[in-house]
């Protein structure tokens, strides 16, 4: 495997309605920003890896529409769609394409354009995904009434809310801790010029004032639906050293999918796991990625983590699974302020998915933001310390599909 690095990052401004652009123009905006950052022209790109959440935006083959806009004609284009983790898989796809030796300069771009749907959020897109789940639900013993009841709190929220309840029960954390995380992520987002829900000086009390969606979640806990795109330029070692002063090197790349926690699959895939916050996929992929990166103690060696957490409870669950805190202890670190941008273990300084959720792009945005931290280009939300290793994580909808990427300031040996 060749050494591979991110040499350019580009994002669009995210908001609930980007009516000034269409899908292709939105994607182009991110790609152009990334190329500009990398100092490359469209002609110099060898290949593209693209993707958004399947079925979302009501366009089945978006790559046909946007190919011309990103300079892809006559070049290899690979579309990847793995649900909520799509962006993570797209970023890793860019890594595979370069590290395999096939190409030297690859653009990986992921996006979502929710506002094209007339329904709020992404109901139409969720229906595509949901139909498969409905049939799992049959095998799961859910009658129509129960299905409507559990679907009533929204697809991913409906799953995450059970997950949160499991976690609260075994860790002892309370709703107030969710308020703290949500407030911090929105404060962080205010420092990120591309973020969607920006709320400077947001306090946990402000979040606590919002209405209950489904106990224990409030409106203030739930992520928005955003329009936006993210792109990275992935390059081989030769190109990276020539083109970039401080590239973000890929050091560990792993993904893991298990039936275990697929909430609405037939009884958790028939493995008899009763706790949907167990998330073994996260633990296994983190372990694999750390091994590749030569990381022995993630608490000492990971300097900043960008976690895919549409809901605040997931920050606790996933940071523990990534080995950053002891099991059931992450909420205490939040209470102590350790996860702030200036803290000991800064979590999601960009504001993350809780503040900006262009679904297909969200997990690529985690890789991109981790890259910015390594490259020292995160501007206002740059962590005030030397970043040797940054962790990027992706989580897929209600399934247990996880991507974990470790980026570092030096190539893998």
* Binding stretches for other proteins (CB under 8 A): 19-22, 25, 28-29, 32-33, 58, 124, 127-128, 130-131, 135, 137-146, 148-153, 158, 161-162, 165-166, 169, 211-216, 259-260, 264, 266-272, 274-276
To the nearest whole angstrom, how small is the minimum distance from the Cβ of residue 143 to other proteins? 4
Nearer to other proteins, 260 or 306 (CB): 260
Q: How far is CA 176 from CA 63, 298, 312, 368, in A?
A: 43, 27, 11, 30
Contact 27, 70 (CB under 8 A): yes
What are the tokens at 25? Answer: 């123009």
Q: Which is nearer to other proteins, 146 or 174 (CB)?
A: 146
Alpha-carbon torsion (268, 274, 279, 280), positive or negative: negative
Name the residue nearer to other proteins (CB basis): 312 or 343. 312
Helix (H) or strand (E) holding 229: strand 227-236
Closer by beta carbon to other proteins, 21 or else 241: 21
CB of 339 to other proteins, least distance (A): 26
Whichever of 161 and 402 has its CB closer to other proteins, that residue is: 161
Give the separation between CA 63 and CA 322, rounded to whole angstroms. Answer: 33
Please report how close the Cβ of residue 44 comes to other proteins at its closest, in angstroms: 16
Cα–Cα distance for residue pair 405/308, rounded to 1 Å: 12
Q: Which is nearer to other proteins, 102 or 212 (CB)?
A: 212
Give least dist CB 269 to other proteins, A. 4
How many beta carbons lie within 10 A of that of residue 265, not counting itself? Answer: 22
Helix axes 312-321, 155-171, angle to 10 degrees: 60
What values do phi and psi take at 267, rounded to 5?
40, 60
Query: With respect to other proteins, which residue has the nearer C-beta, 276 or 285?
Result: 276
Cα 36 from Cα 30, distance rounded (Å): 10
DSSP 8-state assignment for residue 14: P
- Smallest distance, other proteins to C-beta of residue 170, A: 9
End-to-end C-alpha distance for the chain, whole angstroms: 11
Return all residues near 54 (Cβ < 8 A) that are at least 6 apart. Answer: 81, 83, 86, 128, 129
Pick between residue 55 and residue 349 the one whose CB is nearest to other proteins.
55
Q: Residue 110's beta-bridge partner residues?
A: 51, 230
Smallest distance, other proteins to C-beta of residue 135, A = 6
Which pair of structure tokens corresponds to residue 381? 């939300």
CB of 163 to other proteins, least distance (A): 8
The distance of closest approach from Cβ of residue 157 to other proteins in the complex, given in angstroms and rounded to an integer, is 10
Supply the minimum distance, in Å, between the C-beta of residue 385 and other proteins. Answer: 32
Asked whether the beta carbons of 237 and 5 are under 8 A apart, the reply is: yes
Q: Are 221 and 70 in contact (CB under 8 A)?
A: no
- Distance between CA atoms of residues 368 and 16, nearest Å: 21
Rank residues 96 and 166 by Cβ distance to other proteins and give the closer one: 166
Nearest distance from C-beta of residue 148 to other proteins, angstroms: 5
Nearer to other proteins, 136 or 377 (CB): 136
Place of tokens 């409870």: 313
Output DSSP code: residue 12.
Answer: P
Within 13 Å and on the Cβ side, how many CA atoms surround 200?
Answer: 4
């Amino acid at each position: 495997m060749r050494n591979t690095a991110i040499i350019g990052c580009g994002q669009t401004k995210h908001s609930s309605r980007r009516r000034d652009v269409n899908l292709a123009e939105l994607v182009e905006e991110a790609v152009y920003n990334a190329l500009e950052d990398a100092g490359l022209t469209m002609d110099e790109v060898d290949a593209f890896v693209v993707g958004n959440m399947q079925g979302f935006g009501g366009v089945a083959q978006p790559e046909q529409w946007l190919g011309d806009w990103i300079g892809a004609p006559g070049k290899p284009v690979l579309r990847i769609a793995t649900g909520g983790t799509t962006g993570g898989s797209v970023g890793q796809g860019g890594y595979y394409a370069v590290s395999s030796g096939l190409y030297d300069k690859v653009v990986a771009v992921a996006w979502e354009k929710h506002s094209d749907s007339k329904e709020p959020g992404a109901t139409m897109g969720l229906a595509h995904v949901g139909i498969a789940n409905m049939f799992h639900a049959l095998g799961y013993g859910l009658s129509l009434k129960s299905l409507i009841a559990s679907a009533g709190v929204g697809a991913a929220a409906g799953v995450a809310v059970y997950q949160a309840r499991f976690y609260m029960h075994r860790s002892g954390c309370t709703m107030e801790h969710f308020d703290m995380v949500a407030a911090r992520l929105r404060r962080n987002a205010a420092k990120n010029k591309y973020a969607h829900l920006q709320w400077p000086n947001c306090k946990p009390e402000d979040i606590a004032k919002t209405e209950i969606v489904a106990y224990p979640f409030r409106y203030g806990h739930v992520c928005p639906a955003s329009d936006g795109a993210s792109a990275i330029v992935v390059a081989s070692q030769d190109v990276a050293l020539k083109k970039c002063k401080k590239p973000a090197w890929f050091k560990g790349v792993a993904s893991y999918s298990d039936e275990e926690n697929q909430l609405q699959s037939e009884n958790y895939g028939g493995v008899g796991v009763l706790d949907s916050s167990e998330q073994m996929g996260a633990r296994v992929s983190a372990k694999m990625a750390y091994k590749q990166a030569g990381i022995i103690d993630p608490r000492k060696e990971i300097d900043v983590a960008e976690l895919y957490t549409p809901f605040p409870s997931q920050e606790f669950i996933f940071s523990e699974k990534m080995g950053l805190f002891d099991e059931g202890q992450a909420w205490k670190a939040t209470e102590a302020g350790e996860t702030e941008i200036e803290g000991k273990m800064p979590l999601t300084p960009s504001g993350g998915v809780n503040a900006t959720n262009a679904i297909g792009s969200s997990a690529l945005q985690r890789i991109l933001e981790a890259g910015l931290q390594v490259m020292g280009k995160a501007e206002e939300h740059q962590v005030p310390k030397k970043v040797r290793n940054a962790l990027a994580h992706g989580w897929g909808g209600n399934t247990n599909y996880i991507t974990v990427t470790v980026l570092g300031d030096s190539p893998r040996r």
